[in-house]
Amino acid sequence: MPLPELLDHLKKTAALSQVAGLISWDQEAMMPKAGAAQRAEQAGALASVIHARNADPRIGEWVHGIDQSQLSDFDRRNVNEAKRSYDRATKIPPRLAEESARASSEGQRIWAQARAEKKFAGFVPALKRNIALKREAAACLAEDGADLYDCLLDEYEPGAKSADLFPLLESLRPPLVALREKIAGKAKPTPLTGHFPADQQLALAKRIAARIGYDFDAGRIDTVVHPFCSGNGGDVRITTRTDEADPLNCLYSTIHEVGHALYAQGAPDPYLPAADYCSMGVHESQSRFWENQIARSRLFADWLFPAMKEAFSDMNLDGPDALFAAVNRVETGFIRTEADEVHYNLHILLRFELERELIAGGLEAQDLEEAWNQRFERDFGIAVPDASLGVLQDVHWSLGLFGYFPTYSLGNIYAACLDRAMLKDLPGRDDMVRMAETQPILDWMREKIHIRGRVLSAPALIEEATGEKPTAAPLVSYLEAKFGALYDI
């Protein structure tokens, strides 16, 4: 059986992909500015090499020559993932791949300018082009009668179908809108104010990261413009940023990235595709779980408040209750990335329904701004003042990323499912969170999610971990309970 040859090929390709990830991290965190032109050449050359390896005709032969009935679940998944990336690499013609890469890079530039000028019209041609190219790519990948949007979604959420996802996500809208409306009439809690030196923020962020299980022997933290997590196995790096007027940005973005990092550090193998993360939705569930269910809980404030008092001499809040309220302030706003837990998924639902229609053809690019503004007002009750606060706020579509947005909400849904199941399995969890002694929480996540890799589909993995098929109910209950109590509803 040609399995060893195939696995060796996959392993080397994965090692090269890790290098691609590393030079991308370096570009954001370390590279001097005059290095940009060479870095683009380097990344391009490496991407060509990786593409050629993914499209290597021997993969087709190896996969064909393997008797899958003889394989473990893990190796069957390795073979299927090899086939999946081989199909992606071979079904999309080089001309289309190159044009898409160029359209993505040019699209981002044009989008940035349009956003700065607050003029959607300037972005329309680039958006049209991205949609056309993505539809073409989806058509190359589509099996008989497959939905084009699903072919794009599949890249981020393997095997997911929007026919399942749409009702799941839509079921969030009524309760979230109701909750938003109830909160809108209530008094807002006192926000955190004071002066928070950057060094102290970073020191506290590192302390929290280590405390919740981030292994600094297998990672590092640096400062960048837009925080992210990169790498896997023994080298998983996170990044953060600081604002001396607002330490919560640094602390919670660090916790979010640590959530991703714990998943990556816990992978059962750093190279094989069956050991890779299950899906973007599951990845996001890990970051959201630590950020929201754990670190924005009233219990965690019992540990975090004194830790912040120790780190910052100038801070207006007087206790854990006030901190809990401040880190959970609800405010209707225009920007997704600044949204609270009540509003966040409404931002995603808006994008998900719009991008489905864009790919299906029911909505034309030039009509997107109007559609956005109408539906935004429907869900949020306020009118979008300009495109930079509306349809132009996110980079995704300018890069050709369609099918990515719903994974954010899937992450929130899965995080709440996992949270509910874990509470049953770990009766002492409240005390663990209150004292920030969270090792058993991490151990549970390692066993249920991290070491399972990509052997199962995301819904199957969540069902295995929780004993129930994933639904939006746990997320809705969690939000209603938390914000109901906070806002006295």
Q: Which of 1, 38, 310, 318 binds a copy of itself (CB under 8 A)?
A: 38
Binding string, 164-203, against a copy of itself, x = CB under 8 A? Answer: ----------------------------------------
Q: Burial, 145: exposed, middle or buried (Cβ in 10 Å; 0-12, 13-18, 19+)? A: exposed
Of residues 416-455, those binding a copy of itself (CB under 8 A): none
Residue 364 annotated as binding site = no
Dist. CA 129–CA 238, nearest whole Å: 34
Binding string, 219-248, against a copy of itself, x = CB under 8 A? Answer: xx----------x-xxx-x-----------
Residue 284 annotated as binding site = yes
Answer whether 317's CB lies under 8 Å from 329's CB: no
Answer whether 87's CB lies under 8 Å from 155's CB: no
Question: Is residue 41 a contact residue for a copy of itself (CB under 8 A)?
Answer: yes
Q: Which is nearer to a copy of itself, 143 or 217 (CB)?
A: 217
Task: Tokens for 285, please give them.
Answer: 């569930």
Dist. CA 35–CA 265, nearest whole Å: 30
Number of residues that bind a copy of itself (CB under 8 A): 40
Question: Is residue 383 a contact residue for a copy of itself (CB under 8 A)?
Answer: no
- DSSP E strand boundaries for 228-385: 229-232, 235-240, 314-315
Q: Which is nearer to a copy of itself, 40 or 178 (CB)?
A: 40
Instruction: Look up 143 and say whether it is catalytic.
Output: no
Identify the DSSP state of 361. Answer: T
Strand duo 221-223 + 229-232: pairing: unpaired
Task: Choose, from 81, 257, 355, 369, the residue flagged as catalytic.
Answer: 257
Task: Mention every residue, 6+ apart, whose C-beta is less than 8 A from residue 465.
Answer: 417, 418, 421, 448, 449, 452
Q: What does 407-431 look like in DSSP terms, one character per residue?
A: HHHHHHHHHHHHHHHHHHH-TTHHH
Dist. CA 168–CA 469, nearest whole Å: 12
Question: Is residue 94 a contact residue for a copy of itself (CB under 8 A)?
Answer: no
Q: Which of 32, 145, 185, 428 binds a copy of itself (CB under 8 A)?
A: 32
Dist. CA 164–CA 167, nearest whole Å: 6
Minimum distance from residue 71 beta carbon to a copy of itself (Å): 24
Question: Is residue 23 a contact residue for a copy of itself (CB under 8 A)?
Answer: yes
Question: Is residue 215 a contact residue for a copy of itself (CB under 8 A)?
Answer: yes
How large is the C-alpha radius of gyration of the chain? 23
Q: Which is nearer to a copy of itself, 37 or 187 (CB)?
A: 37
Question: Is residue 99 a contact residue for a copy of itself (CB under 8 A)?
Answer: no
Q: What does 163-193 look like in DSSP terms, one character per residue?
A: HHHHHHHHTTHHHHHHHHHHHHTSPPPPPP-
Task: Tokens for 168, please give them.
Answer: 């799941």
Q: Which is nearer to a copy of itself, 44 or 65 (CB)?
A: 44
- Phi and psi, residue 5, nearest 5°: -60, -45
Q: Which of 1, 30, 383, 481 binds a copy of itself (CB under 8 A)?
A: 30
Dist. CA 489–CA 477, nearest whole Å: 14
Question: Is residue 16 a contact residue for a copy of itself (CB under 8 A)?
Answer: yes
Question: Is residue 31 a contact residue for a copy of itself (CB under 8 A)?
Answer: yes
Binding string, 42-61, against a copy of itself, x = CB under 8 A? Answer: x-xxx-xx------------
Question: Is residue 485 a contact residue for a copy of itself (CB under 8 A)?
Answer: no
Nearest to 361 by CA among 48, 128, 96, 109: 128
Residue 256 annotated as binding site = yes
* Interface stretch with a copy of itself, choices 31-39, 73-81, 128-136, 458-466 (CB under 8 A): 31-39
Active site residues: 257
Residues that bind a copy of itself (CB under 8 A): 11-13, 15-16, 18-19, 22-23, 26, 30-39, 41-42, 44-46, 48-49, 215-220, 231, 233-235, 237, 270-271
In the annotated binding site, the residues are 256, 260, 284
